[in-house]
Structure 1
């Protein structure tokens, strides 16, 4: 199981990737929205987390959002709707990253 270290000072604090629904960037901070529990604020940039989470599970859909693609319920040209009901804007340059193929979301 892949995990994200929540602190470089306490490496034992690990969060499973499967528990992260989406990540919101706020300047030098990120808010991790979780499937279980309250949101977690990290002192990392979205760019840093994008590099750490560089696998096919996460995709950056906007300058302020990274999503776990396993939680995508639906999407259009301008919005991505997640399983928890959250609607997030989809950047014009990033809409090519998401396709719906036989009810499976894939990256191109």
Structure 2
């Protein structure tokens, strides 16, 4: 068993044991403090009966989140899918258990636990994100991008140019285009300045894909890429672009 797996089981068992003990003790203390006619008189194991299933499901939730996170596939869509799946499983198990053991009608059980199970899953996801989410392996010379429902890593050398789109950037390769939530300034800081250069306040280009630059009479110009695309070149960035192109020539 890995350290991560041990930690997931430890938090699950310790957390639920403490919670169940607290709930049971609260009701016992309440019954001691009120007249006999007002006592709740719950069975001693009532809290375990209501919450015990989470001893099993909590490690499953933690494991699924960890596995998809380490595989770079834990998108928002996948995250919601995992929680929705576990909600359906936990509610189904609870309904069957209460029907066979307690003879409670299934609609009553579903209505009774409908508020608590989503809340439990929300708390579990928060605990995982805060205490259990492992660090991802360091990937040099790549950027993490989302493509549909999957997350992939894009090599710096495959990026031809980058365009700003408000709080997003458009990452262009020779075959595809990706949208990433980050500013152009932030992504520029992650890229090697020996490979990329700013040509405009809204554009970055990969120097290895530059075919030539074309200067207009106004002093601004265009950067012509080897794949036939054109990127704007402003007067402010023209000297730096020319200097970098001379160094890589």
The answer to whether the superposition gives a TM-score over 0.5 is yes
Q: Distance in 2 between matches of 1:106 and 1:98?
A: 10
Q: Which residue of 1 aligns with 2:230?
A: 87
Gaps of 5+ in 1: none
SS in 2 for 1:56: coil
Q: Which has the higher strand share?
A: 1
What is the 5 A alignment of 1:61-76? 61-76=199-214
SS in 1 for 2:228: coil
Give the corresponding residue for 1:33: 172
Shift of 1:38: 2.0
State the alpha-carbon separation in 1 of the partners of residues 142 and 232 from structure 2: 26
Residue matched to 1:106: 247
Structure 2: how far apart are the matches of 1:38 and 1:76? 25
TM-score, length of structure 2 as denominator length: 0.37
SS at match of 2:182: coil
Deviation at 1:98, TM superposition (A): 2.1
User: Residue in 2 aligned with 1:97?
Assistant: 240
- Aligned residue pairs total 100
2:180 is the counterpart of 1:47: no
CA distance 1:60–1:100, change in 2 (3 Å)? closer
TM-score by length of 1: 0.81
Paired residue for 1:5? 144
User: Higher relative contact order by CA 8 Å / sep ≥ 6: 1 or 2?
Assistant: 1
User: Highest Rg: 1 or 2?
Assistant: 2
Partner of residue 156 from structure 2, selected from 11, 17, 20: 17
Greater helix percent: which structure?
Answer: 2
Task: Report runs of 4+ in structure 1 exceeding 6 Å deviation.
Answer: none
